[in-house]
Chain A
Amino acid sequence: MGMDDVVAMDAVSKVYGKGRSAVAALREVTIGLPRGRFTAVMGPSGSGKSTFLHCAAGLDTPTSGSVRLGDTELSRLNETRLTELRRRRVGFVFQAFNLVPSLTVEQNITLPLRLSRTRVDRARLREIVERVGLAERIGHRPAQLSGGQQQRVAIARALVTRPEVVFGDEPTGALDTMTAREVLSLLRETVDGMGQTVVMVTHDPVAASYADTVLFLADGRIADAMDAPTSEKVAARMTRLGAWNR
Chain B
Amino acid sequence: MIGLVLSTLRHRKAGFAGAFLALFCAAALVCACGILLDTGLRGTIAPERYAGAPVLVTGDQYVHQDKIKKHKVKHKAKALAERAWLPVATADRLRGVPGVRSVVTEVTFPAEVPGATPGSSWGHGWESAALTPFTFAAGRAPSAAGEVVVDAATARTAHLRVGSRLPVSSPIATGAYRVVGVTREALPHQAAVFFSTGEARRLAGRPGAVSAIGVFPAAGESGTSTVAKSVTAAVRGTTATVHTGGDRGRTEFWDAEKARIKLISMGGALGGTALLVAILVVAGTFALSIQQRQREIALLRAVAATPRQIRRMIGREALIVSVGAGALGAAVGPLLGLWLRDRFRALGALPPTLNLVISPFPLFAAVLAAVVAAWAAARLSARRSARIRPVEALGEAALSGPRTGAARILAGLACLAGGVVLTLVLSSLNTEAASSPVTMLTAIVWTVAVALLAPIVARTAAALWGTLLRLSPVGGHLAAANLRTRSRIVGSVIAPLTLMVGLTGTILFAQTTMGHAATAQADAGTVADHVLGPKVPAAAAAALRHTDGVTTVTEVLHSTVRVGLANYGVQGVTPAGLSRTMNLDVRSGSLNGLDAGTIAVSGTAADRLGVHVGDTIRMTLGDGTPFAPRVIAVYGRGLGFGDLTVAHDLLAAHVDDPRADTVLVAGPAGADALRSAVRHYPAVTVLDQATLSKDRAAAGAEVNYVAMGLIIAFTAIAVVNTLAMATADRARELALLRLVGTTRRQVMRMLRWETLAVVATAVVLGTAVTLITLTALATGMIGSAAPYVPPVPYLAVIGGAAALAVLATVLPARLALATRPADLIGSRA
Contacts and interface: CB of A to CB of B under 8 A. Distances in A.
Interface string A100-141: 111100010001101110000000000000000000000001
B299 A100 contact: yes
Contacts of B520: none
B396 A96 contact: yes
Contacts of A87: 303-305
Contacts of B394: 50, 54, 59, 94-95, 169
Given A170-B395, A174-B396, A83 B829 contact: no
A115 B5 CA distance: 12
Interface stretch (B306-314, B413-421, B812-820): B306-314
Nearest to A95: B395
B4 A103 contact: yes
A224 interface: no
Interface string A145-184: 0010010000001000000000001100110000000000
B453 interface: no
Given A54-B391, A114-B4, A115-B304, A142 B396 contact: no
30 contacts: A50-B395, A54-B391, A59-B391, A60-B389, A83-B306, A86-B302, A87-B304, A92-B302, A92-B303, A94-B299, A94-B395, A95-B394, A95-B395, A96-B396, A97-B295, A97-B296, A97-B393, A97-B829, A99-B829, A100-B296, A101-B296, A102-B12, A111-B303, A112-B304, A114-B1, A115-B1, A115-B304, A115-B305, A142-B828, A169-B394
B304 A111 contact: yes
A79 interface: yes
Best-buried of B1, B10, B11, B308 by chain A (most CB within 10 Å): B11
A4 interface: no
B306 A84 contact: yes
A83 B396 contact: no
B309 A115 contact: yes
A223 interface: no
Given A102-B8, A170-B395, A80 B303 contact: no
Interface in A192-242: none
Contacts of B303: 86-87, 92, 111-112, 115, 157
Contacts of B309: 115
Task: Say which size band chain B's interface belongs to.
Answer: 20 to 34
Interface string B394-427: 1110000000000000000000000000000000
B827 interface: yes
Interface of A: 50, 54, 59-60, 79-80, 83-84, 86-87, 92, 94-103, 107, 111-112, 114-116, 141-143, 147, 150, 157, 169-170, 173-174
A87 B302 CA distance: 8
A80 B7 contact: no
Interface string B339-367: 00000000000000000000000000000
B391 A101 contact: no
Contacts of A80: 306-308
B300 interface: yes
A173 B11 CA distance: 27
A95 B391 CA distance: 12
B610 interface: no
Contacts of B829: 97, 99, 101, 141-143, 150
Best-buried of B7, B296, B303, B306 by chain A (most CB within 10 Å): B303
B301 interface: yes
A108 to B, nearest CB: 9
B3 interface: yes
A209 B686 CA distance: 102
Contacts of A79: 306-307
Contacts of A173: 395-396
B575 interface: no
Enumerate the 4 nearest inter-chain pairs by beta-carbon distance, A residue then B residue, closest first: A87-B304, A102-B11, A142-B829, A112-B304
Contacts of B8: 100, 102
Interface in B796-829: 827-829
A193 to B, nearest CB: 23
Contacts of A111: 4, 300, 303-304
B390 interface: yes
A41 to B, nearest CB: 14
Nearest to A101: B829
A157 B304 CA distance: 11
A48 to B, nearest CB: 14
Best-buried of B309, B391, B828 by chain A (most CB within 10 Å): B828
Contacts of A170: 395
Contacts of A101: 11, 296, 829
Contacts of A95: 394-396
B396 A143 contact: no
Contacts of B391: 54, 59-60
A206 to B, nearest CB: 19
Contacts of A97: 295-296, 299, 393, 396, 828-829
A94 B389 CA distance: 15
Nearest to B304: A87
Interface string B285-327: 0000000000110011111111111000000000000000000
A154 to B, nearest CB: 9
Nearest to B11: A102
Contacts of A83: 301, 304-307, 390
Interface string B1-45: 101100110111000000000000000000000000000000000
Contacts of A60: 389, 391
Contact of A169 (B301, B306, B395): B395
A127 B299 CA distance: 25
B677 to A, nearest CB: 81
Contact of B10 (A54, A102, A112, A116): A102
A147 B829 CA distance: 9
A231 B11 CA distance: 42
A185 to B, nearest CB: 21
A50 B390 CA distance: 13
B613 to A, nearest CB: 72
Contacts of B4: 100, 103, 107, 111, 114
A116 B393 CA distance: 20
A100 B395 contact: no
A237 B827 CA distance: 36
A219 to B, nearest CB: 21
Contacts of B1: 114-115
